[in-house]
Amino acid sequence: MTKTRADAWELVTRYTQSDSLRKHMLAVECAMRAYARRFGEDEELWGIVGLLHDFDYEKHQTIPDHPLKGAEILRAEGWPEDIIEAILSHADETGVPRTTRLHHALYAVDELTGLITAVALVRPSKNIRDVTLKSIKKKWKDRRFAAGVNREDIEAGAAALGVPLDEHIAFVLHAMQDCAETLGLAGEEAAS
């Protein structure tokens, strides 16, 4: 049986109640799809990996339980091993090496989407379309801002992906801007 994005979304909604965590996974999906298009890769595969990568986090917040327990669930439900391996590769503690462009892309965009979302949410408009590379870089330097975001992981991920850091940040920002409504980052007026 072939798994689809609809199957992935069903799994996400079954395991994740937090709206912000769901939106994080949607943001990673948007960025992964954009990178798949850029690199001429399978957009559906990359998008599903992005969407599913944290589906188990709400129930298994301790690494390496996350994503190892999630991998067990995915295997039990018949998900393809390439998707499971990509998800496992985004956490260093699993011991699964990042060996493909898909693995590197997931690692590169995961933390960055969180930082970009935080930058958007502190803007008066709450609109990601008002966020610029410059505003992200300014917040990047303030380690107290979005303190849980591992900037070194973002840097290492971009380097492994072969994309200069500023270009990577701008690329992911643009991908997320294209998904602003889905991510709930189209501004307060759009939310009304």
For residue 41, give the CATH number of its domain: 1.10.3210
Query: How many domains is the chain partitioned into structurally?
Result: 1
Q: Provide the pLDDT for residue 119.
A: 98
Q: Provide the pLDDT for residue 92.
A: 83
Tell me whether residue 121 is exposed, middle or buried, using C-beta atoms within 10 angstroms of its C-beta: 0 to 12, 13 to 18, 19 or more.
middle
Which tokens in the block code for residue 82? 């390439």
The pTM score is: 0.95
Which tokens in the block code for residue 98? 């990042």
d(CA 76, CA 72): 6
Domain that holds residue 125: 5-191
Q: Provide the pLDDT for residue 95.
A: 87
Q: Provide the pLDDT for residue 191.
A: 46
Which spans in the chain are helix H? 5-15, 19-39, 43-52, 65-76, 81-89, 101-122, 133-141, 151-161, 165-178, 180-183, 188-191
Q: Provide the pLDDT for residue 158.
A: 97
Along the chain (192 residues), what's the average pLDDT of each consecutive run of 10 residues?
92 96 98 98 98 94 83 96 95 89 97 97 96 97 95 96 98 98 84 44
